[in-house]
Structure formats: C-alpha cells, structure tokens
Chains A and B, each alone.
Chain A
Amino acid sequence: GEDVEQSLFLSVREGDSSVINCTYTDSSSTYLYWYKQEPGAGLQLLTYIFSNMDMKQDQRLTVLLNKKDKHLSLRIADTQTGDSAIYFCAERGGATNKLIFGTGTLLAVQP
C-alpha cells in the first residue's frame, strides 16, 4: 500500500537550518514532492525529485532522497520567519499514479 509519514512539528530559530523528514512505503514511487501551505492558503509546490536522483538543490532548499530506506528530507538553509508554514511531503505512486500526501509538518520559526 501507499503511506507517507512525517513528524507533526518542528521548531527552529531564525537563521538556523531546518530539516523536515518524510518516510514512504511505495518502492515504485516515481516522483516525490515538497509542498508548502501557509495559513488560510492552498498548497504551493516547492520542489520535486525524480526517484532515480538522490539529491536536488534549489537556492535555499536541498532535497535528499534515500531510496533504499524510502526516506526523503527537505533542508531549508538560513530559515526565516516567512518560512513558518506546514510542509507536506507527497509521493506519486508507481502503480496507481495517485499523489499521496503525508500529514504535514508544522515548521515554527522563532525570531
């Protein structure tokens, strides 16, 4: 089956790096995504990684994929208060082609 898990909360201080972790179960996943949701808003695509890659960097964001352990992480460098939001990990199932989301991690950035 397809299941995606994330921790519910992460608290960091402004200027530090944040690392949000995600695990998934579908070994045939094709793409994995990170979305950001700010209060009262829809989801904003931050970045994605193809399942045959192990790293992708995009400005302050670094995505690491360990396909063997089915572990995905999002690192945000120099975290700012504007980064406070819920971050969702999602995987596109290889068999079903459905997009399955994790529970979301609330990132709280303290000044």
Chain B
Amino acid sequence: KAGVTQTPRYLIKTRGQQVTLSCSPISGHRSVSWYQQTPGQGLQFLFEYFSETQRNKGNFPGRFSGRQFSNSRSEMNVSTLELGDSALYLCASSLLAGGHETQYFGPGTRLLVL
C-alpha cells in the first residue's frame, strides 16, 4: 500500500497570506490527524478528522482550520500567516482496530513564513 502523502513538500509564504496543505491517507484509513512541529514547541496536535467530521482539536487559534473529504483526503488551511507559523506540518492517518489507533505519518510539509 502507498503511504501517507502530503503536498506540497515545502512552501514559502509571506506574513498575512494564507496557505492550504493537503494530505492523502493510506488507502482504507478514515481518520486523519494534523500536527505542527517546531524546534521550540516540539510536536503539537492540531486536529483530527474522521468521516468528514472534526473529532478532536488542539489548542491552536481559529486561523488554523481543516476539513476532510468523502474520500478521506484532508486539507489544512492557515489564514493570516504569522512568522511563528513556520514549521513542519505533519499529517497522520489511522486504521481503527479494536479501539487502538496506530498512526502512520506522512513526510510533512515544510512551511516557511517570511
């Protein structure tokens, strides 16, 4: 099976712009989670989608939003970009199995805000 894919692999934006990142989960996986990784804050949970519904949400401002489509692909949007949004954004997909969710991560999208 193909792994989790994320596009684009990197982006350079300027403050105030908005950005959309895409994630395609492993075939058959219905849950997609997003994480932000920065040197200062480490790996932080953004949100999780399952069957097109947001199931869980981290402590990020409303500028960060996401959605999931009927084919389980997910997009994450960040509006009014700030310098501190520069990070590696990781997407992970899950296969539900008896209540245990093993997450498989994509390679990430590197976002640089200038």
Contact = CB atoms under 8 A, between A and B. Distances in A.
A48 B35 CA distance: 19
Interface of B is mostly: strand
Given A42-B107, A45-B103, A96 B56 contact: yes
Contacts of B6: 42
A53 B35 CA distance: 28
A88 interface: yes
Contacts, number: 47
Interface string A3-16: 00000000000000
Interface residues of A, number: 22
A25 to B, nearest CB: 15
Contacts of A42: 4, 6, 90, 105-108
Contacts of A48: 100, 102
A43 B56 contact: no
Given A98-B56, A99-B33, A101-B42, A43 B90 contact: yes
Nearest to A44: B105
Interface residues of B, number: 23
B45 interface: yes
Contacts of B92: 43
B64 interface: no
Contact of A43 (B45, B99, B100, B105): B105
